[in-house]
Structure 1
Amino acid sequence: MKQYIVDAFTDKLFRGNPAAVCVMDAFPEDKLMQSIAAENNLSETAFLVREGEVYHLRWFTPKGEIDFCGHATLASAFVLFSIYDHNIDKIVFETARGRLEAKRAGDLIEMDFPAYRLEHFEVSTDMISALGAIPFAAYRDRDIMFVFRDEDDVRHLKPDYERLSWLECDCVAVTAKGKEYDCVSRVFAPKYGIPEDPVTGSAHCMIAPYWSKRLNKEKITAYQASQRTGVLQCEVCGDRVKISGKAVLYSEADIQI
């Protein structure tokens, strides 16, 4: 089984978000895919199987399968474009979230994702304790997003990961209006064994629509202020979000199974 490690949402090694991409003829048992993801110990390992002109795509964290991942989709598209399908300009993925598309866009790869809802809710004292700070607004869908007034609040946040894992969501995103970029964010997923995710494409299906509306801009440049950092180019198109980024290959290996 071929496996590639790709740093997504960056053009520099050791930045962005590393994802493993496994290319195979057929999906093995879920238990084996979960073991591979746990062995990799990256935020996501993507598994790809081609069927005609479509690639079936699944994503596993070290602790379980998830229904949607942006950076591992970017990593998968990068591997297919650069190694397997040099002459094509668009890839269609069949996923648990339905059909997703990725296409070449100059030196970027552009992905077309469904936008998340922005269901407003009141912040509880448990949430404040988990965050270690008080946001001024909160929204939920699959993930929870907390909005802060200043990007320094986001950059310096020191949450309690155990308390965050108790919240009823997959990921916890925190965001604020940026100074150099349109918005700044960080994302945490301790429930899946990921204290802080370096760069999170899926969370920007929520972050981008929020800032697009607030800033009255269809296109925004988003910065994820993790230790590795990453930049996402986002365009909100109704109930869809186009998220673009770069990627770079770190390694190529054969899994001995």
Structure 2
Amino acid sequence: MRINIYQIDAFTDQLFGGNPAAVCPLIDWLDDEILQNIAIENNLAETAFFVQSSDNRFHLRWFTPEFEMDLCGHATLASAFVIIEELGNNYDKVLFDTQSGLLTVKKIGDYYELDFPSRPPKKSSLPKIISDGLNIQPKEIWKARDYLLVYDSENDIEDIKPNIAILNQINIDPGGIIVTAKGKFGNVDFVSRLFTPQATVFEDPVTGSAHCTLVPFWANRLNKNELRALQISKRGGELLCQLNKNRVLIKGKAIKYLEGTIEL
């Protein structure tokens, strides 16, 4: 059996930027063990698999090398990119049935706009092991799926050096630890980084799902619903975001890095 595979850099228009995701179009679903083993073999933060159910509607699933995820932004963007750009479908919108409900991706010029559920955080407290694993302590602690740690400045976010050995002793799957602050330049509303303890990729380059929490938080804090975000990982990525009631709209670009086949 041969399965087509694409590797897409999402939330960027530059190769080696943004967040890489593998995408595998399927005719029918394979056993979960096979899907998980493909994700392990790919050794990327996410591998997306989809099966077409009707004209522009697909069943979509996401796997890390460790487990199946309930929501992934960059691999959803990458999947829509493959469906439209690589499989030759002239859709202006793609519908995905997922564990997180119906997700839509619109093609708007060179951008792909994700329509995701909003996950506003609630005030929380910080487990000691997370505090011990961070060289700079946050000013505020919030939590939805992920911990959301708020800092005074973008410089703080840049200067955080997580102690991976300590943080890998905790288990927060399938969530992680978001660190965030206001942007220091006027063209960026907020910046962030995301750490995922015990995951193959400890610091995620650009995380669409994290912005389901970041956007409602910063929309309320800054009193504005349209936000420009920057995830300041080594690869980096830009996201154009909007809070629309209980939904978060996230726009980004994508570019193909690799195309090939898997032999099973």
Residues 192-211 of structure 1: matches in 2 within 5 Å? 192-211=199-218
Residues 135-150 of structure 1: matches in 2 within 5 Å? 135-150=138-153
Alignment match of 2:224 (pick from 199, 217, 220):
217
SS in 1 for 2:162: coil
SS in 1 for 2:5: strand
Is 1:24 the equivalent of 2:26? yes
Partner of 1:127: 130
Distance (Å, rounded) in 2 between the aligned partners of 1:198 and 1:161: 16
Task: Using the TM superposition, give the Cα deviation of residue 71 of structure 1 relative to its aligned residue in structure 2, in angstroms.
Answer: 0.3
Task: Using the TM superposition, give the Cα deviation of residue 24 of structure 1 relative to its aligned residue in structure 2, in angstroms.
Answer: 0.9
Alignment match of 1:82 (pick from 71, 81, 85):
85
Task: Using the TM superposition, give the Cα deviation of residue 104 of structure 1 relative to its aligned residue in structure 2, in angstroms.
Answer: 0.8
Alignment match of 2:172 (pick from 168, 177, 180):
168
Is 1:117 the equivalent of 2:124? no
RMSD: 1.2
Q: Quick one: which amino acid aligns to residue 105 of structure 1? A: I
Distance (Å, rounded) in 1 between the aligned partners of 2:128 and 2:147: 15
Q: Contact 1:64–1:192 at 8 Å: present in 2 too?
A: no
Q: Quick one: which amino acid aligns to residue 238 of structure 1? A: K
Structure 2 residue runs without a partner (length 5+): none
Distance (Å, rounded) in 1 between the aligned partners of 2:30 and 2:45: 20
SS in 2 for 1:77: helix
Distance (Å, rounded) in 2 between the aligned partners of 1:38 and 1:241: 30
Q: Quick one: which amino acid aligns to residue 172 of structure 2? A: E
Alpha-carbon distance change, 162 to 97 in structure 1, aligned in 2, over 3 angstroms: farther
For residues 95-131 of structure 1, the C-alpha deviation after alignment (integer angstroms, 9 at most, x for no partner) is 0001100011121000100011211112343321122
SS in 1 for 2:202: strand
Residues 41-60 of structure 1: matches in 2 within 5 Å? 41-53=43-55, 54-60=57-63
Task: Using the TM superposition, give the Cα deviation of residue 70 of structure 1 relative to its aligned residue in structure 2, in angstroms.
Answer: 0.3
Q: Quick one: which amino acid aligns to residue 224 of structure 1? A: Q
Distance (Å, rounded) in 1 between the aligned partners of 2:204 and 2:151: 19
Partner of 1:239: 246
For residues 174-203 of structure 1, the C-alpha deviation after alignment (integer angstroms, 9 at most, x for no partner) is 000002311111011123322100000000
Equivalent residues, number: 257
Partner of 2:111: 108
Q: Contact 2:172–2:197 at 8 Å: present in 1 too?
A: no
- Provide TM-score, normalisation by structure 1: 0.96
SS in 1 for 2:119: coil
For residues 151-174 of structure 1, the C-alpha deviation after alignment (integer angstroms, 9 at most, x for no partner) is 111111111224334153511110
SS in 2 for 1:79: helix
Partner of 2:41: 39
Q: Using the TM superposition, name which of 140-149 and 188-197 deviates more.
A: 188-197
SS in 2 for 1:46: strand
Q: Contact 1:5–1:21 at 8 Å: present in 2 too?
A: yes
Partner of 1:11: 13
Distance (Å, rounded) in 1 between the aligned partners of 2:4 and 2:253: 22
